[in-house]
A and B are shown apart, each in its own frame.
Chain A
Amino acid sequence: AQSVTQLGSHVSVSEGALVLLRCNYSSSVPPYLFWYVQYPNQGLQLLLKYTSAATLVKGINGFEAEFKKSETSFHLTKPSAHMRDAAEYFCAVKNAGNMLTFGGGTRLMVKP
């Protein structure tokens, strides 16, 4: 069965600093991987997805993620954090039933 693990339930950065949110996956087949963002009191919005094409995936709002098979990782990055990036971020993997298995989430806090 596919699974994902997010390292760090809370990450705090200063505005303008690099954002790095970590996700490692476990899968016996080539995985389809996703990052979703949840702003306060809202539903989930797709940031980006990896579906076995390019290993570097660019998403919305300046975020990108790199699929590294050798490290079983799919970390999310953004060069310069904005206050509006404060939210909870979820890594997910598509499972056999076409549903998603989520990691525990990482809450990103951005300090002025």
Chain B
Amino acid sequence: NAGVTQTPKFQVLKTGQSMTLQCAQDMNHEYMSWYRQDPGMGLRLIHYSVGAGITDQGEVPNGYNVSRSTTEDFPLRLLSAAPSQTSVYFCASTPDRATDTQYFGPGTRLTVL
């Protein structure tokens, strides 16, 4: 198993550009989520999904969209990038509600100029 994979590893955008951060898992996990990591603030939940076709907002959803058309993939879309979205983004998955452990991807470092 590759686990949770994220692409790209690094990305530089200009203000106003759009892009999609990719996340995939090959463990057949139902729950997937996106977090952003900023210095001194830990990780904050952006959006999450409890299964294909079901998504919900986390703590900091503004400026981001998600969809979950398959169990494996959970892309995060930035519609119009802003410098405040400069961050490290982590995708995570967990099998189901009863399982406590989250499995994290390696992260995507995004810079918005």
Interface of A toward B, CB cutoff 8 Å: 6, 9, 32, 34, 36, 42-46, 49, 51, 90, 92, 94, 97-105
Contacts and interface: CB of A to CB of B under 8 A. Distances in A.
B53 interface: no
A43 B100 contact: no
A104 B41 contact: yes
A9 B43 contact: no
A104 B106 CA distance: 19
Nearest to B91: A43
Contacts of A46: 101-102
B107 interface: yes
B8 to A, nearest CB: 14
Interface residues on B, range: 20 to 34
A101 B100 contact: no
A84 to B, nearest CB: 19
B56 A42 contact: no
A45 B102 CA distance: 9
Chain A's interface: helix, strand, loop or mixed, by majority?
strand
Nearest to B6: A43
A51 B100 contact: yes
Contacts of A105: 40, 42
B71 interface: no
Interface in B1-56: 4, 31, 33, 35, 40-45, 48, 50, 56
B40 A100 contact: no
Nearest to B96: A98
Contacts of B4: 43
A102 B33 contact: no
B105 interface: yes
A104 B100 contact: no
Given A43-B107, A44-B90, A104-B42, A98 B101 contact: no
B100 A94 contact: yes
Contacts of A94: 100
Q: Which 8 A-B pairs have the closest CB atoms?
A: A102-B42, A43-B104, A44-B104, A102-B43, A43-B106, A104-B42, A98-B97, A105-B42
